[in-house]
Amino acid sequence: MVRKEEALEYHSQGRRGKIEVVPSKPCQTQRDLSLAYTPGVAEPCLEIARNPEDAYRYTAKGNLVAVVSNGTAVLGLGDIGALAGKPVMEGKGVLFKRFADIDVFDIELNTHNPDEIIRAVQLLEPTFGGINLEDIKAPECFAIEEALKKTMNIPVFHDDQHGTAIISGAALLNALEVSGKRIDQVRVVFSGAGAAGIACAKLYEKLGVRRENMLLVDTKGVVFKGRKEGMNSYKEYFASKSPARTLAEAMSGADVFCGVSVKGIVTKEMVRSMADKPIVFAMANPDPEITYDDAVSVRDDIIMATGRSDYPNQVNNVLGFPFIFRGALDVRATSINDEMKIAASHALAMLAREDVPDSVTRAYGGKRIEFGKEYIIPKPFDPRVLLRETIAVAKAAMETGVARTPIKDMDAYRDALEARLGKSREVMRFFISRAQQSPKRIVFPEGEEDKILRAAHILVEEKIATPILLGSRSFITQRMKELGIEMEGVEIINPSKSMKHDQYVTAFYSMRQRKGITKFDADRLIKTHNIFGMMMVQQGDADGLISGLTTHYPDTVKPALQIIGKREGVRTIAGLYMMVFKNQTIFIADATVNIDPSAEDLADIAILTAEKVKQLQIEPRVAMLSFSNFGSTKHPFSDKMRQAVSIIKHRAPDLIVDGEMMADTAVSPEILSEFFPFSSLQGAANVLICPGLTSANIAYKLLAKLGGATAIGPILMGIKKPVYLLTPGVEVNDIVNITAMAVFESQSRFGAAHGKENGGHGKETVKEVAAH
């Protein structure tokens, strides 16, 4: 549990509160100032006056949401007032930004009058792209939302109502899937008839629960036909003819309990009285209607969700509102309708049935997460939620006619959403998109490893590559079944039983017979997976190879050199890392192969790296790094880098390269400008060649851990055909990404061999995606 002191310190340390306004345009010079404000600002004002829709082009309106509250129903604290509720509204802003890149202003209205709230929000319409109503008590919240939805042309969404309904609705769909029950046959009891309870009941009905199978229970007991006390039109809609009058009576024989009420209202006896395989959503916060431990102690067949993160299946509204608004804003929806909410529930439900990324597993303690009783809702930190739910909401808005600017290219929209997850996701999306245009056959020697199996499933589903898994067919088949992933589209080869065995033995023996390999050795080595995989690539039976998950680099590099060999004219192979920052991408070599390269080796490494960067359609600007700037320190270490520059300029005179220079000089145009009179590097370098493996390895790891960069690699350069290395701690998504890069390289080499342009298809280039 979070301690009081810890929470107060979190909100008060440093800059007070949790949010700030950050300019999205430069304001460093007098010219910037004249553009940001007067006189330049007059021009967009005039354009908007002529065409109000231009507000979405020239202002932040299209990505700006107001979080509006009067503080009358804050969390479980009740009516604490507008000002006291401000930390919650700021927190909502943090979640909007963190999960969906939506900007927020929190608006606290000091009034209990619904008409005043309605009028205030209506007057804010020119400022915002959407309105999120928050912590306004029932039944006023219903009337306020209804009035605003009727009178405003931007989305209005009361999260306390619909957020809980959408997330628990997804949980309901999956709980029924796990329990084998039909939605139109289950009996559902709702505890709590406020904003969330009524909204849950309404959405469950739209998902397929029959109204006559629902019982609504409030502080006065069951809501039944003819009851007078504590009734309103919203409760009346769900009034039942059931003879049940208490919560205990209502829960007897029920299939589902949906609680949005108060702590401890449900007893063990009530849970024990429910039907087989009961579904219990005890969502009161911070303490549920019945604790997880108490509920499972009386029913081992229970499927349970709560609002807490320390129990399985947390119903957390952050799985809903950021992504629902993201989809609504991106199509400029005039409202958030029922179809969009239903689409969100179904998208979340389907996502929970997919394989869970390693990054999500690690964020939640490292324990394997699989669809079932204890995992029926996606985790809040699953980055795929942005893609699945947002797209589903946007599509529903278009299909129901509330989208003012429908999305024409869903693939491009998905790419744009990927970019919001970070520049590295955007860069990798480029490689995946290119790979999907012409998938290649990629062999995985470690085909029995779980991560490889899970990656292979994604590669097939996304049509990125045709995976070839080396290993025991029976073992792989059984393990894939246990992991719940499909085998279709995956090729499995057991090297010791392959029809190609004799052919590969003969070819391998022919290559290595004068290098210490006997026919017996060749027969034995071909049965090893790395050697067999390399032979597949060498013989043209596979287009590339990915290995290294369970081995050291030399175990992959050495057979790659012996069997596939270096490209013609290549003397030294090397390893490259692509370092992706928020606003730029740089390349570092060699952090993988050459421990103490000579000047000649460094020249080879620089030229290989420049060729790879050009393949990505980025112009390389190469800096040879040292602790000296252009001869400022005389030492063999710096002399080596200077000599390498001379060799490069002789061998590749058109390449932009200079050095030796310090790292800060290489990446800082201001420092570099001091050397402009003679330096050929007239701008910041994007390729950094380090003097040795030690410095390169340290540099890329520090940039990744402390500099906020995402490291993509290692990319092995100089081999005839694509061979990519994995590290032991690599995640499934990284394997997918590396495979996409291998496919891209294979496509590029095939295109070059056949005189085809390296690009085309009307797609943007990696230069546009990755370069600053």
Known catalytic residues are 37, 92
The token pair that represents 57 in the structure block: 């082009």
CA dist., res. 102 & res. 386, Å (int): 12
> Which phi and psi angles does 203 have, rounded to 5°?
-70, -40
The upper half-sphere exposure of residue 634, i.e. CA atoms within 13 Å in the direction of its Cβ, equals: 0
Burial of 317 by CB count in 10 Å (0-12 exposed, 13-18 middle, 19+ buried)? buried
Beta strands 621-625 and 687-689 are parallel
3-state helix, strand, coil in the chain (%, to 5): 45, 15, 40
209, 184 Cβ separation under 8 angstroms: yes
469, 493 Cβ separation under 8 angstroms: yes
Amino acid at 584: Q
- Give me the residue label for tokens 């080396």: 470
The token pair that represents 531 in the structure block: 């050697």
- Which residues are 443's β-sheet partners? 468, 545
Q: How many CB atoms lie within 10 A of CB 328?
A: 28
Residues 6+ apart with CB under 8 A from 763: 430, 433, 434
Beta strands 440-444 and 221-222 are unpaired
Closest CA to 333 of 266, 248, 393: 393
DSSP H or E segment with residue 442? strand 440-444
CA dist., res. 179 & res. 280, Å (int): 12
The token pair that represents 705 in the structure block: 């851990």
The SS3 call for residue 612 is: helix
The upper half-sphere exposure of residue 553, i.e. CA atoms within 13 Å in the direction of its Cβ, equals: 13
First to last CA, the chain: 43
CA dist., res. 722 & res. 707, Å (int): 29
Beta strands 656-661 and 621-625 are parallel
CA dist., res. 744 & res. 39, Å (int): 48
Residues in the chain: 772
The token pair that represents 187 in the structure block: 């009996």
CA dist., res. 469 & res. 445, Å (int): 6
CA dist., res. 288 & res. 303, Å (int): 15
Closest CA to 192 of 148, 137, 152: 137
Cα dist from 365 to 115, 306, 327, 385, 643, whole Å: 48, 19, 31, 20, 50
Closest CA to 620 of 630, 611, 631: 611
CA dist., res. 522 & res. 528, Å (int): 10
The token pair that represents 573 in the structure block: 């192979």
The SS3 call for residue 623 is: strand
SS3 labels along 9-62: HHHHCCCCCCCCCCCCCCCCCHHHHHHHCCCCCHHHHHHHHHCHHHHHHHCCHH
Amino acid at 527: K
> Which phi and psi angles does 226 have, rounded to 5°?
95, -10
The token pair that represents 604 in the structure block: 């080879």
Classify the phi-psi angles of 284: left when phi > 0, otherwise alpha if psi is within -120 to 50, otherwise beta: beta
